[in-house]
Amino acid sequence: MGFTTLSSALYFYQNLEDFTTRFYEKFAANENYSALRELFLDLARDNIKQKNTVLRTYQEAITDILEVGSSLDGMREEDYLIPEMPVEDSDMKEVLNYAITLEDCGLRFCLDISKKIRTLLTDISRPFESAGKKKGDRKNRLEAALRSLG
Amino acid sequence: MVLLEEPIKSSVTLRNYVNGEWVEAETNVWRQIVNPATQKVIGRVPISGSGDLEKAVEAAAEAYPEWRRTPPLTRARHLYRLKNLMEEHFEELSRVCVMEHGKVIDEARGETRRAIENIEVACGIPSLMMGYNLEDIAKDIDEYVIRQPLGVFACIAPFNFPLMVPLWFMPYAVATGNTYIIKPSPWTPLSQTKIMELIDEAGFPPGVVNMIHGDAEVVDVILKHSQIKGVSFVGSTPIGRDVIYKQAAAHGKRVQAQCGAKNFIVVMPDTVIDQTVSSIITSFFGSTGQRCLSGANLVVVGKDDSYHQRILEKIVDSARRIRIGYGLDEATQMGPMQSEDRKKRVVGYIEKGIEEGARIVEDGRDFSVMGEYPDNCFIGATIFDEVTPDMTIAREEIFGPVMCVIRTQDLDEAIEMINKSNYGNAATIFTSNGRIARKFQYEVECGNIGINIGIAAPMAFFPFSGMKDSFFGDLHGQGLEAIRFFTESKVVIQRWF
Among B287, B331, B455, whose Cβ lies nearest the Cβ of A8? B331
Q: Residue B295's domain is classified under what CATH number?
A: 3.40.309.10
Shared domain for B50 and B198, answered yes or no, is yes
The single residue of B292, B377, B404, B446 carrying the catalytic annotation is B292
Mutate to test the interface with A, among B95, B103, B106, B322 (most CBs of A within 10 A): B106
Distance in angstroms (rounded) separating the CA atoms of residues B462 and B460? 5
CA angle B384, B388, B390 (to 5 degrees): 125
Among A11, A63, A67, whose Cβ lies nearest the Cβ of B330? A11
User: 10-residue block means of pLDDT along chain A (150 residues)?
Assistant: 87 95 96 94 96 94 69 87 87 95 96 89 91 96 93
Shared domain for B188 and B275, answered yes or no, is no
Closest CA to B400 of B448, B345, B363, B454: B345
What is the set of domains in chain A, with CATH numbers? 6-148 (1.20.1260.10)
- Residues contacting residue A112 through CB under 8 Å, at least 6 positions apart: A75
CB B100 within 8 A of CB B42: yes
- B390-to-B271, B386, B421, B467, B468 alpha-carbon distances in Å: 27, 12, 10, 21, 19
Q: Is residue B6 part of a domain?
A: no
Shared domain for B268 and B368, answered yes or no, is yes
Chain A residues in contact with chain B using a Cβ-Cβ cutoff of 8 Å: 1, 4-8, 11, 59-71, 119
Shared domain for B121 and B227, answered yes or no, is yes
Range of the domain at B481: 12-259+470-494
Q: Residue B493's CB: how many other CB atoms inside 10 A?
A: 10
Q: Is residue B274 part of a domain?
A: yes
The neighbouring-strand residues paired with B143 are B134, B493
Q: Is residue B460 part of a domain?
A: no
Could you write out the DSSP letters of every residue in B403-418? EEEEEESSHHHHHHHH
Q: Is residue B92 part of a domain?
A: yes
Shared domain for B285 and B246, answered yes or no, is no
Q: Do A68 and B333 touch (CB under 8 A)?
A: yes
Consecutive H or E run containing B137:
strand B132-138
Q: Residue B1's CB: how many other CB atoms inside 10 A?
A: 13
Shared domain for B196 and B248, answered yes or no, is yes
Shared domain for B297 and B153, answered yes or no, is no
B294 to chain A: closest CA residue:
A65
Q: Is residue B224 part of a domain?
A: yes
Shared domain for B216 and B330, answered yes or no, is no
Q: Do B454 and A65 touch (CB under 8 A)?
A: yes
Q: Do B330 and A65 touch (CB under 8 A)?
A: no
Shared domain for B75 and B181, answered yes or no, is yes
Q: Does B278 touch chain A (CB under 8 A)?
A: yes
Distance in angstroms (rounded) separating the CA atoms of residues B289 and B436? 27
Q: Is residue B188 part of a domain?
A: yes
At B211 the three-state DSSP class reads strand
CB B304 within 8 A of CB B269: yes
Shared domain for B117 and B74, answered yes or no, is yes
Shared domain for B197 and B300, answered yes or no, is no
Q: Is residue B463 part of a domain?
A: no
Q: What is the pLDDT along chain B (497 residues), one digit of tens a residue?
A: 689 999 999 999 999 999 999 999 999 999 999 999 999 999 999 999 999 999 999 999 999 999 999 999 999 999 999 999 999 999 999 999 999 999 999 999 999 999 999 999 999 999 999 999 999 999 999 999 999 999 999 999 999 999 999 999 999 999 999 999 999 999 999 999 999 999 999 999 999 999 999 999 999 999 999 999 999 999 999 999 999 999 999 999 999 999 999 999 999 999 999 889 989 999 999 999 999 999 999 999 999 999 999 999 999 999 999 999 999 999 999 999 999 999 999 999 999 999 999 999 999 999 999 999 999 999 999 999 999 999 999 999 999 999 999 999 999 999 999 999 999 999 999 999 999 999 999 999 999 999 999 999 999 999 999 999 999 999 999 999 999 999 999 999 999 99
Q: Is residue B456 part of a domain?
A: no
Domain total of chain B: 2
Among B278, B330, B331, whose Cβ lies nearest the Cβ of A67? B278
Q: Residue B67's domain is classified under what CATH number?
A: 3.40.605.10
pLDDT tens per residue, range B251-282:
999 999 999 999 999 999 999 998 899 899 99
CB B349 within 8 A of CB B402: yes
Shared domain for B363 and B278, answered yes or no, is yes
